[in-house]
A = this chain, B = another copy of it.
């Protein structure tokens, strides 16, 4: 049995969607950020990074969305990874860009203390985040296939991640309508069965 430590406002929603896509049973455990549960001794013993998602598997604990999604695909759904090695690499290129550039740009809006100590720096980062986030979205808008999925004509691991992270952009008051491809992807994913199932379970805000 799998246990997913999640918070519906975070990127853990991407893992929940993939679990629903694969119809893999899992036990959800909410990590309540309002009382900083992600920094509790019990949670840090599980995941010293103090972040979500954390997936408990029969073999041990996994962190990092990119690793968790690959594990779920390897165990339960190889069809979520393109068979062609180049297309699989394009999927992973998208996943790494989402993790290390797009999400990082987004995080500067409210997680300045991770990288700087002065309030003036945090305000500076917060002000710039909508611009870096919009630049990231513009890159994705022009680079992905949207045929209609991020990579080709079937859902891959990149799609739930792209869907959740693009959704975050609205929190920075970015108008997604300026990106027609991303907008269409949002609409398509919003009412997909797995997304609604995850939302109905409270895994996705």
Contacts and interface: CB of A to CB of B under 8 A. Distances in A.
Interface in A59-90: 59-60, 62-68, 70-71, 74-75, 85-86, 88-90
Contacts of A35: none
A134 to B, nearest CB: 14
How many copies of this chain? Answer: 2
A14 to B, nearest CB: 13
Interface in A142-177: 142-143
Contact of A62 (B68, B90, B139): B90
Scoring A60, A74, A115, A124 by chain B CB atoms within 10 A of each residue's CB, the highest score goes to: A115
Given A121-B125, A124-B117, A132-B114, A88 B100 contact: no
Contacts of A143: 48
Interface size class of A (residues with CB under 8 A): 35 or more
Interface stretch (A21-29, A91-99, A188-196): A91-99
A74 B89 CA distance: 9
Identify the 10 closest CB pairs spanning chains A and B, nearest first. A67-B93, A71-B89, A64-B96, A59-B86, A67-B92, A66-B96, A74-B85, A121-B121, A100-B100, A99-B100
